[in-house]
C-alpha cells in the first residue's frame, strides 16, 4: 500500500488547472469551432455536428456521450480514470452550457458584420429564433481555435487528468487489436472530422484536421516543454578527447560502451550522451577537430527523464 503523502497545495493547483483547461475548452468550442461547423475530433467535435444538423445543445450531447464512455471504459479497462478526469468531464459541459445560454453560437472571428441575408460565401448561426449570417475567416479562426484547444487540453493533461471522450474508444480498440494508441487516436478523430461532410463542403474536414494538428503541437509544448533533446551515439578512436569535451566544456555526463566493428572486428568505444539543441551544435562544431574520423548517430528524443533532465513521474 502506498504511503506517499498528498501535497494539498499541489492538489489545489491541479484542480484549478483542470477548471481553467475546462473553461478554455468550452470557449474554443462555443466561440470558435461551433460557428464554423468544425469538428476537431473528440466527443465535442461530434456534438458540434449534432448541433448543426439537429440543433442539439453541445453541452447536453457532449455529456450524454462522455458519461457512458467513462462507464464503459471503466468496465473494460479498469478504474484508470481518476477524480480529476471526472471533474473535467463534468466541468466542460457546465462551462459549455453557460456559454451557450449567455453568448450563444456567435463567432468571435469573422469578416465584416452580421447580415440578415445569406451570400454565396456566408455561414449562419441561430440567435434565438432568428438566423444570422456572417462572412467567415476560416484560416484565422482555425489557427486561433487550435491554439486555445491545445492550451486547454495541455493544461488538463499537466494537471494529471484527461478530457475523456473519444480517447476512451481508442484505448478500448487498442486493448483488443494492439494497434498503436497514437494511430488509433488519429483514426478516430479523423473519422469524427469527416462527419462534417454531412453539414458542408470538403473544406470543413480539411480545416478540422489542420486544427487537430495545431492543437497537438500546443499540447506537446505545454506537457513536454519547448526544449528538445537529442540522443547521440559517438564511435571514436579519440575517446579521452571527446569524453573530456563532453564532461568539461558541455558539462554533461554520458555512458561509454565497448563494441566490436563488424567489418574488421576491431574493438571500438562508443559514447552515449543526451544533449539539448545548443549543446549538440557545440559538439558537432568541435568533433571535426577532436576526431575527424568519428562516426556520429543523432536520434530525436521525445522525452528524457532522470537526473539533469525532467523529474521521473510521481505515482
Ordered DSSP codes for 252-296: ---EEEEEE-TTT--EEEEEEEEEEHHHHHHHHHHHHHH-TT-EE
> What's the pLDDT score for residue 1?
43
**β-bridge mates for residue 269, sequence order:** 236, 258
The model's pTM: 0.80
Chain segment 142-182, per-residue pLDDT in tens:
999 999 999 999 899 888 887 777 778 887 888 888 777 66
> What is the pLDDT at residue 5?
67
For the chain, the structural domain boundaries read 8-224, 229-301
Q: What is the pLDDT of residue 2?
A: 44
Contact 33, 145 (CB under 8 A): yes
Q: CA dihedral defined by 201, 206, 207, 208, rounded to 10 degrees?
A: 100
Q: Looking at residue 271, what is its pLDDT? A: 92
Angle at 123 between CA 52 and CA 143, to 5 degrees: 90
Supply the pLDDT for residue 276.
83
- Residue 51: strand, helix, or coil: helix
Considering the domain delimited by 229-301, tell me its CATH architecture. 2-Layer Sandwich (3.30)
Q: Give per-10-residue mean pLDDT for the chain (315 aa).
A: 66 94 96 95 94 94 93 84 88 96 95 88 88 94 95 88 80 81 79 91 92 88 77 90 90 86 80 87 87 89 70 61
> What confidence score (pLDDT) does residue 43 get?
93
- For position 53, what pLDDT does the model report? 93
Amino acid at each position: 500500500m502506498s504511503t506517499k503523502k498528498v501535497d494539498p497545495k499541489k492538489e489545489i493547483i491541479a484542480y484549478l488547472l483542470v477548471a481553467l483547461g475546462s473553461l478554455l475548452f468550452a470557449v474554443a468550442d462555443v466561440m470558435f469551432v461551433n460557428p464554423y461547423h468544425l469538428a476537431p475530433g473528440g466527443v465535442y467535435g461530434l456534438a458540434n455536428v449534432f448541433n448543426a444538423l439537429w440543433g442539439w445543445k453541445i453541452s447536453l450531447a457532449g455529456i450524454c456521450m462522455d458519461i457512458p464512455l467513462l462507464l464503459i471504459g471503466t468496465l473494460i479497462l479498469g478504474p484508470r480514470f481518476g477524480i480529476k478526469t471526472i471533474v473535467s468531464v463534468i466541468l466542460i459541459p457546465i462551462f459549455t452550457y453557460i456559454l451557450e445560454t449567455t453568448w450563444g453560437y456567435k463567432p468571435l472571428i469573422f469578416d465584416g458584420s452580421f447580415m440578415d441575408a445569406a451570400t454565396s460565401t456566408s455561414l449562419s448561426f441561430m440567435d434565438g429564433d432568428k438566423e444570422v449570417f456572417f462572412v467567415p475567416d476560416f484560416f484565422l479562426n482555425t489557427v486561433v481555435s487550435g491554439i486555445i484547444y491545445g492550451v486547454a487540453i495541455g493544461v488538463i493533461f499537466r494537471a494529471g487528468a484527461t478530457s475523456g471522450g473519444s480517447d476512451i474508444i481508442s484505448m478500448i480498440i487498442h486493448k483488443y487489436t494492439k494497434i498503436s494508441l497514437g494511430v488509433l487516436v488519429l483514426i478516430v478523430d479523423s473519422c469524427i472530422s469527416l462527419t462534417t461532410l454531412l453539414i458542408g463542403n470538403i473544406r470543413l474536414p480539411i480545416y478540422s484536421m489542420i486544427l487537430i494538428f495545431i492543437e497537438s503541437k500546443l499540447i506537446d509544448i505545454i506537457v513536454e516543454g519547448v526544449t528538445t533533446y537529442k540522443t547521440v551515439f559517438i564511435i571514436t578512436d579519440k575517446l579521452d578527447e571527446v569524453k573530456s569535451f563532453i564532461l568539461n566544456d558541455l558539462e554533461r555526463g554520458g555512458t561509454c560502451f565497448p563494441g566490436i566493428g563488424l567489418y574488421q572486428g576491431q574493438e571500438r568505444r562508443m559514447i552515449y550522451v543526451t544533449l539539448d539543441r545548443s549543446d549538440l551544435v557545440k559538439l558537432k562544431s568541435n568533433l571535426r577537430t577532436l576526431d575527424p574520423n568519428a562516426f556520429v548517430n543523432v536520434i530525436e528524443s521525445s522525452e528524457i527523464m532522470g537526473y539533469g533532465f525532467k523529474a521521473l513521474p510521481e505515482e
